[in-house]
Amino acid sequence: MEKIQLQAQAREGAGKGVARAIRREKQIPAVIYGDGKEPALIILEGKEVFKALHSGGFFTQVCDIEVDGKKHLVLARDVQLHPVTDQPLHADFIRVTEKTKIWVNVPVHAINEEDCPGLVRGGLLNMVMHEIELFCRATEIPESLIIDLEGLEIGDSIQLNAVKLPEGVEASADMDATVATIAAPAAVRSAGKGEEGEEGEEGVEGEESAEGEAETAEGGEGDSE
């Protein structure tokens, strides 16, 4: 997997005032921590972070951050976004090596939808797990995990044990956990609900009778008074 390349410069001081000043310059305050070393306070170009963040795989690709000529091998752990504009406000990176193992969420992608009889007949793909948490080397994080829909019918499901994990990679979820299902078409489900409603008409009449009895009972109490 290709590394993300980012340029940064060291920053002096921390706090809200410093962060605001950095953001006014269209830059982003960030920190690199971990590996038993002191945290490194840095400044990143806002455009570079925004581009990397929206190009996909920002949290699953290792990154080379060059700070004043020195490269740091890191993995993005958190990015704070503006609540309105979604512009990055702050970023956290953890130092890694080729031996570092880490828990990370990897997206799940489906293939062969056109060869899935259940979907061709109008069924719906229900992704129970959009991401799966994996434990693996930081430099060997899979870009995604693949589920194959070929031959699946309506009502079929895919368990985690059917998903091929790279060698040496572990999943936090139970291997029997359901990753995705092929659900019945919405029209069929709606029809089923309609039939249930028709069968329940007698129950409604029964409720009305019960209400009538309650009214009669209340009326009787009023007469007795």
Q: What is the predicted pLDDT for the residue at 195?
A: 53
CA 153 to chain centroid? 26
Cα(158)–Cα(126) distance, rounded to whole angstroms?
A: 10
Token pair listed for 8: 């940064």
pLDDT in tens, 152-194: 999 999 999 999 998 889 999 999 999 999 999 875 555 455 5
Quick check: 142 and 106 in contact, CB under 8 A? yes
Question: pLDDT, tens digit, for every residue of 105-137?
Answer: 999 999 999 999 999 999 999 999 999 999 999
Looking at the whole model, is its pTM more than 0.75? Answer: no
Q: For residue 93, count other CB atoms closer than 10 A to its CB.
A: 26
What is the distance, to the nearest Å, from the Cα of residue 83 to the centroid of all Cα atoms in its chain?
18
pLDDT at 217 over 50: no
Structure tokens at 144: 């995604």
pLDDT (tens digit, 9 = 90+) per residue, 8-63?
999 887 778 888 888 889 999 999 999 888 899 999 999 999 999 888 788 999 99
Ordered by where they begin, the domains of the chain are 4-96 (2.40.240.10), 102-187 (2.170.120.20)
Q: Please enumerate in sequence order all residues whose Cβ is within 8 A of that of 125, keeping only pairs 6 or more positions apart, or say none.
A: 110, 113, 116, 119, 149, 180, 182, 183
Contact 43, 77 (CB under 8 A): no
Q: Which two tokens stand for residue 14?
A: 């921390």
Which residue, among 101, 22, 110, 96, has the nearest Cα to 65 in the 3D structure? 96
137: which strand partners? 101
The pLDDT-based confidence of 200 (bands split at 50, 70, 90) is very low
SS3 201: helix
Q: How far, rounded to the nearest angstrom, does the alpha carbon of residue 57 sit from its chain's CA centroid?
A: 12
Query: Is the pLDDT at 215 greater than 90, yes or no?
Result: no
